[in-house]
Structure formats: structure tokens, C-alpha cells
């Protein structure tokens, strides 16, 4: 039972996730809220209380199952915290005329910062150097081994959406040559050359950054041939979705040195990192936290609230998923 006593029938807005206390309070001030994230069996609870629920709040990670959609006859809008839509039932929502929003733009710069953090950290071996300095290796074994230059190298980006563009902008500051692969050339942007073949992009690039959407269409797009083309001196950075990279190909190539290294924020089975990956020194790992700054998380939460208000006031979402 939730504290505000709103688990009774009649709730208009169900929350599968909390947006943070300040933002949850904004919701509670406007709607009769069902805070399902406080429940032990949220799906069952939702089913029992579904008749009046018009609005559903979720996140890119938690998503919404098609089954959940089926038990909400009055559902009008799903507002999701996060930009990724791979866990949202977009087709079922379209069929049911349920509107869906995500939180694009507000997170792009922080996600791009993390891509660059991982790129610099893995090229210059910052975590390994940190371990070396802390553990006394510097004193007992001497100078740290040489690492890979970043400035002036070749940056390949897979996915030239808003996040890809933010990553590309940072590349200019590092004097890098830029090429990208995308579903279609971005003739509307001045962002380096379009490369129609992902393998050719990987062959050309020193650093390949994955910044495309997840989901079935991009599943294992970065496979063994692409990783082999990136090669022993190449580094793979992934801040998109674990599903885009075939981890069963990635791990042996890293183990044998056929791929130079990787900086990974996302994994095929989250939460958690494959044990074989966690023991490789030339890999820098983050627990899916690219957008995870206080500033950006707050902006994402406020955008979810603002989408709900826009829907309530004029049946229009501010950032609808296309």
C-alpha cells in the first residue's frame, strides 16, 4: 500500500518508475496517482486498478510490455524517461492510438561526454593507470606502458542522430577526421563523410563509437567482421545499447588482441557485465550511466512531467516518439 493512499481504484496516472521526489510531487498535485514502483507486484496491481488509468509513466530501462497495454482500456499516453524506445511497445501503441513520448535532446550532451570519457579513458588507459599508481606498480615496476594518441585521429560514428552529432562536435575539438554510418546520409548536416558500409567505416576508423538506437533493426550490427575490421589498434566505444554489439564476438577478439580495446557503458544482459569482459585490462566499463548526471536526470524528469501536462491540457505531447 502506498503512503498517499492512492492505490484504490480511480487512479488516473500509473507510475512504473519514480521520477524523483520533486517530480513525483508535481504529478501527485495534478492527478490521482498509482505509484506502482512501490508495489511488490506492480503488473497485478495495475490489472486490478486499470479501468481509469489514462496516463502511464515508465523509463527506457523498465519499458512497457504489450501485456500491460492490454490491461489498460482507457490508456491515452505513455511518457517514458529516457530516449531509447527499444523497451516500448511502439507498434501496439500505434494500433491502439496510444501516444508515446520519450526524453530526447536533454540528455544528448551528457551522453556524448560519457562517450568521450570512455574514448579517452580506454585510449589513454586512465583506469589502468589509476590502478597502477594506487597499487604501487609505478614504484615497483617503473614507467607506465605507452598508450594510444587521441588527438588528430580518425573518428567513426555509427548513428548520426542527436547524440551522434554531439559526439561529432567534440571530435572537432580533438582535431579528428570524421566519418559516419547511418540509415541514410545526413545531407542536412555538415558532419564529415557518410560511409555506406559499416565494415569500411570500421576499417578506416581508429575509434568506432556506437550511437544508434537499439532494437531488432540494429541487433548485432557490430559483429565479428566489423570488429575485425576495426582491428588490433582500434577501439570500440558503446553508449547506445548492448544489443547493437555481438558480445560473444567482442570478448574473444579482445582476449586475443584482435581488437585493441573497448569502452562500454551498455551490455547485452543488464544489469551486470560478463565475467570474461570484466577481467580484460584494455576495457573500460561503466554501469549504463551515460545520461546519469544530476542535471540531466532532472531535465529528463521535468520533460516527462511537461509531456503529461501537455497531453492533459491539449492532447499533444511535447516530444512524441515518431
Quick one: 129 or 292, whose CB is closer to ligand 8YV? 292
Q: Which stretch binds ligand 8YV (CB under 6 A): 75-83, 178-186, 188-196, 203-211?
A: 75-83
Quick one: 35 or 242, whose CB is closer to ligand 8YV? 242
Query: In 3D, which of 68, 25, 61 has the Cα closest to residue 45?
Result: 68
* CB-CB contact of 309 with 88 (8 Å): no
Decide: is 32 part of the binding site for ligand 8YV (CB under 6 A): no
Report in angstroms how near the CB of residue 234 gets to ligand 8YV at its nearest.
24
The Cα-based distances of 45 to 3, 50, 51, 312 in angstroms read 15, 8, 12, 24
Task: Check if 288 is active-site.
Answer: yes
* CB-CB contact of 30 with 54 (8 Å): no
d(CA 67, CA 86): 16
Report in angstroms how near the CB of residue 199 gets to ligand 8YV at its nearest.
26
Quick one: 60 or 150, whose CB is closer to ligand 8YV? 60
* CB-CB contact of 207 with 119 (8 Å): yes
Q: Which of 83, 114, 210, 253 binds ligand 8YV (CB under 6 A)?
A: 83
Q: How many residues in total does the chain contain?
A: 322
Query: In 3D, which of 293, 289, 287, 285 has the Cα closest to residue 121?
Result: 285
Decide: is 59 part of the binding site for ligand 8YV (CB under 6 A): yes
d(CA 191, CA 157): 10
DSSP state of 48: H
Binding mask 235-274 for ligand 8YV (x = CB under 6 A): ----------------------------------------
Decide: is 319 part of the binding site for ligand 8YV (CB under 6 A): no
Decide: is 82 part of the binding site for ligand 8YV (CB under 6 A): yes
Q: Which stretch binds ligand 8YV (CB under 6 A): 81-89, 155-163, 179-187, 200-208?
A: 81-89
Quick one: 108 or 125, whose CB is closer to ligand 8YV? 108
C-alpha cell at 64: 512497457
Decide: is 57 part of the binding site for ligand 8YV (CB under 6 A): no
For 194, the 3-state DSSP assignment is strand
Report in angstroms how near the CB of residue 289 gets to ligand 8YV at its nearest.
7
Residue count at the site for ligand 8YV (CB under 6 A)? 10
Task: Check if 181 is active-site.
Answer: no
Report in angstroms how near the CB of residue 52 gets to ligand 8YV at its nearest.
26
Q: Which of 27, 57, 60, 118 binds ligand 8YV (CB under 6 A)?
A: 60
Of the candidates 94, 169, 183, 270, the residue annotated as catalytic is 270
The Cα-based distances of 209 to 168, 194, 198, 231 in angstroms read 10, 14, 12, 14
Of the candidates 12, 241, 247, 282, the residue annotated as catalytic is 241
DSSP state of 107: T
* CB-CB contact of 55 with 14 (8 Å): yes
Burial class (CB in 10 A: 0-12, 13-18, 19+), 280: middle
Decide: is 84 part of the binding site for ligand 8YV (CB under 6 A): yes
Interface residues with ligand 8YV (CB under 6 A) are 59-61, 81-84, 107, 291-292
Which positions are catalytic? 241, 270, 288
Amino acid at each position: 500500500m502506498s503512503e498517499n493512499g492512492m492505490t484504490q481504484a480511480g487512479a488516473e496516472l500509473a507510475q512504473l518508475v519514480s521520477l524523483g521526489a520533486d517530480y513525483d510531487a508535481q504529478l501527485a498535485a495534478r492527478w490521482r496517482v498509482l505509484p506502482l514502483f512501490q508495489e511488490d507486484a506492480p503488473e497485478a496491481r495495475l490489472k486490478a486498478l486499470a479501468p481509469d488509468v489514462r496516463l502511464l509513466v515508465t523509463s527506457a530501462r523498465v519499458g512497457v510490455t504489450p501485456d500491460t497495454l492490454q490491461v489498460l482500456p482507457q490508456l491515452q499516453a505513455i511518457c517514458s524517461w529516457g530516449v531509447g524506445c527499444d523497451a516500448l511497445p511502439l507498434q501496439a501503441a500505434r494500433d491502439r492510438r496510444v501516444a508515446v513520448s520519450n526524453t530526447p535532446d536533454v540528455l544528448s550532451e551528457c551522453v556524448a561526454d560519457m562517450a568521450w570519457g570512455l574514448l579517452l579513458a580506454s585510449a589513454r588507459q586512465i583506469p589502468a593507470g589509476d590502478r597502477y599508481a594506487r597499487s604501487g606498480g609505478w614504484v615497483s615496476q617503473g614507467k607506465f606502458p605507452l598508450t594510444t594518441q587521441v588527438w588528430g585521429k580518425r573518428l567513426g560514428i555509427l548513428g548520426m542522430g542527436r547524440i551522434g552529432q554531439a559526439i561529432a562536435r567534440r571530435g572537432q575539438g580533438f582535431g579528428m577526421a570524421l566519418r559516419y554510418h547511418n540509415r541514410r546520409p545526413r545531407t542536412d548536416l555538415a558532419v564529415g563523410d557518410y560511409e555506406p558500409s559499416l565494415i569500411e567505416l570500421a576499417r578506416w576508423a581508429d575509434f568506432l563509437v556506437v550511437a544508434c538506437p537499439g532494437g531488432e533493426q540494429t541487433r548485432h550490427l557490430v559483429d565479428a567482421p566489423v570488429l575485425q575490421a576495426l582491428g588490433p589498434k582500434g577501439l570500440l566505444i558503446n553508449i547506445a545499447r548492448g544489443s547493437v554489439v555481438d558480445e560473444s564476438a567482442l570478448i574473444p577478439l579482445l582476449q586475443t588482441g584482435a581488437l585493441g580495446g573497448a569502452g562500454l557503458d551498455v551490455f547485452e544482459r543488464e544489469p551486470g557485465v560478463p565475467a570474461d569482459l570484466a577481467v580484460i585490462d584494455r576495457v573500460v566499463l561503466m554501469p549504463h550511466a551515460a545520461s546519469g548526471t544530476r542535471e540531466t536526470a532532472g531535465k529528463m524528469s521535468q520533460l516527462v512531467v511537461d509531456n503529461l501536462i501537455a497531453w492533459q491540457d491539449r492532447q499533444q505531447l511535447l516530444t512524441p516518439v515518431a
